Structure 1
Amino acid sequence: MQDPVWTSVIPPLLAIGLAIVTRQVILSLSIGLWMGAWLLGSGNPLVAIPQAIDAVINVFTDPGDTRVLVFTLVIGGLIATIEKLGGVRGFIHLLQERKWVTGPGRAQWLAFGTGVVVFIESNITLLIAGAISRPLFDRYRVSREKLAYIIDATSAPICVLIPLNAWGAVIVSLLASSGIENPIDVFIGAILLNFYAIFAVLVCALVIWSDFDIGPMRAAQKRTAEGKFLWPNATPMVDPSLIEAEQSRQPQDSAKLMLLPVLALVLSMPLGLFITGEGDLTAGSGSTSVL
């Protein structure tokens, strides 16, 4: 194994910088990967191209990595299907009929609560909280930037604090492989020391409670209050047809189409850990269970 050198930070910094400047994530990651292969290889930038491609292909040789990639595709398709069938619209109308969400404040607390309740995996949290909350945020003129902040602050930070999910399974397995006795006890004992995750959640709650917009979110909120959900020339990452379909309720819309799949996802995670761990939740496979 090579000793770490300062040049090892160049690929991630390059990828992050390009992503910020170009807004092209895949292109930026590809260039960062190529740079990493260049630095690790013979120093020939042309030879680094096939090496970078091989590195991508080799990801699929690891069963855990492959399961995570397949899961990402599957969960994205599931959320899109729920939206197409009217599950999101039905759930939103249920909230409004029961008067559970009647303004911007409650819409933000809904996004926060979804991030806390759907703790099985951070990607699932992001997709579900975003799908549920975005129409409400648009309706009550709360910026999408603030929605992004809320669901980001309650996805990974919540997941990393709970042992019975994909994150917990990975962390416990890493502790066990490091020779630490009683890894689950160590994980639970270290929860209160996970200061970043705890403060991220608490600050997010404070932002919602105080109706405070941090930094650029203030400008985004001013824009949204004027009825402009996006900045000029911005390209939404959501299919415009889905946004248009959210405007009117259809006869087939039902909250059950949203609640039942989400409930199945939440309950299947500990069950999957129990089965793959042969009765021991802490020994279960996080990647298999989440898939």
Structure 2
Amino acid sequence: MELREVTAYTIKGVQGLTPVVIVLALAFAISGTQQALGTGVWLAQVAQATVNPGFIPAIIFILACVMAFSTGTSWGTFAIMIPIVVPMAELLGLNLGLTLAAALGGGIFGDHCSPISDSTIVSSMASASDHIDHVRTQLPYAMIAAFGALILFVVTGFIL
């Protein structure tokens, strides 16, 4: 392989990753803004007055699922949810591992099922299948797992 080819492939690879880097940079900027505003603390205070703390992990899971599905990015969801979840867990006396698992699991589910997710698009391209057909075939299996996880987040939310 000649230097010219290596350079061309390197430039092509960097161009492919540029949108991902931009999304992550913006997500972490939002994360920093949330921390500065105290969003997690405020939401914990609101939740403390209105919601049974045992349901919080399940609610976090659902919100992370919806956010990642809507945006098509699990990493962006993590960057937004984790600065909210950690102060909530601390202030409400929740199990930190459980609440983080809810945020991470929801982010992965939403990313896996989202038709605009890069990983879903690459999977359908790699298998040479129609993209929407691929999403439709993955959704039932993922929904079964998400429903099971949701039930377990409710149960463990009250136990831990």
Q: Is the 8 Å Cα contact of residues 107 and 133 (structure 1) preserved in structure 2?
A: no
- Give deviations 1:212-251, integer Å, cap 9, x for gaps: 79xxxx9xx5xxxxxxxxxxxxxxxxxxxxxxxxxxxxxx
Counterpart selection for 1:206 from 148, 151, 155:
151
TM-score by length of 1: 0.43
- Structure number with bigger Rg: 1
Residue matched to 2:92: 140
Residue matched to 1:115: 64
Residue matched to 2:138: 191
Residue matched to 1:131: 83
Q: Percent identity?
A: 14
Which SS does the other structure have where 2:114 is aligned? coil
The one-letter code sitting in structure 2 at the alignment partner of 1:166 is S
CA gap 1:212/1:139 in 2 versus in 1, 3 angstroms: closer
Residue matched to 2:30: 78
Cα offset for 1:62?
2.5
Larger helix percent: 2
Which SS does the other structure have where 1:142 is aligned? coil
CA gap 1:149/1:87 in 2 versus in 1, 3 angstroms: closer
Residue matched to 2:117: 166
Counterpart selection for 1:149 from 91, 101, 117:
101
**Distance between the aligned counterparts of 1:67 and 1:198, measured in 2?**
28
**Distance between the aligned counterparts of 1:212 and 1:87, measured in 2?**
22
CA gap 1:62/1:130 in 2 versus in 1, 3 angstroms: same
Q: Is the 8 Å Cα contact of residues 65 and 109 (structure 2) preserved in structure 1?
A: no
Aligned residues: 149
Which SS does the other structure have where 2:113 is aligned? coil
Which structure would you say has the larger RCO, counting Cα contacts within 8 Å and 6 or more residues apart?
2
Q: Is the 8 Å Cα contact of residues 133 and 147 (structure 1) preserved in structure 2?
A: yes
Cα offset for 1:132?
2.0
Cα offset for 1:143?
2.0
Cα offset for 1:84?
0.3
Cα offset for 1:83?
1.5
The one-letter code sitting in structure 2 at the alignment partner of 1:190 is T
Q: Is the 8 Å Cα contact of residues 130 and 147 (structure 1) preserved in structure 2?
A: no
Q: Is the 8 Å Cα contact of residues 57 and 154 (structure 2) preserved in structure 1?
A: no
**Distance between the aligned counterparts of 1:125 and 1:204, measured in 2?**
18
Cα offset for 1:174?
5.4
Counterpart selection for 2:40 from 72, 85, 88:
88
Cα offset for 1:192?
4.1
Structure 1: unaligned runs, 5 residues or longer: 1-53, 222-291
Cα offset for 1:178?
6.1
Cα offset for 1:60?
8.0
- Give deviations 1:74-125, integer Å, cap 9, x for gaps: 311221112202333333334345x1x342x122122112212212210122
**Distance between the aligned counterparts of 1:95 and 1:134, measured in 2?**
14
The one-letter code sitting in structure 1 at the alignment partner of 2:91 is R
TM-align CA RMSD? 3.2
**Distance between the aligned counterparts of 2:121 and 2:13, measured in 1?**
23
The one-letter code sitting in structure 1 at the alignment partner of 2:138 is I
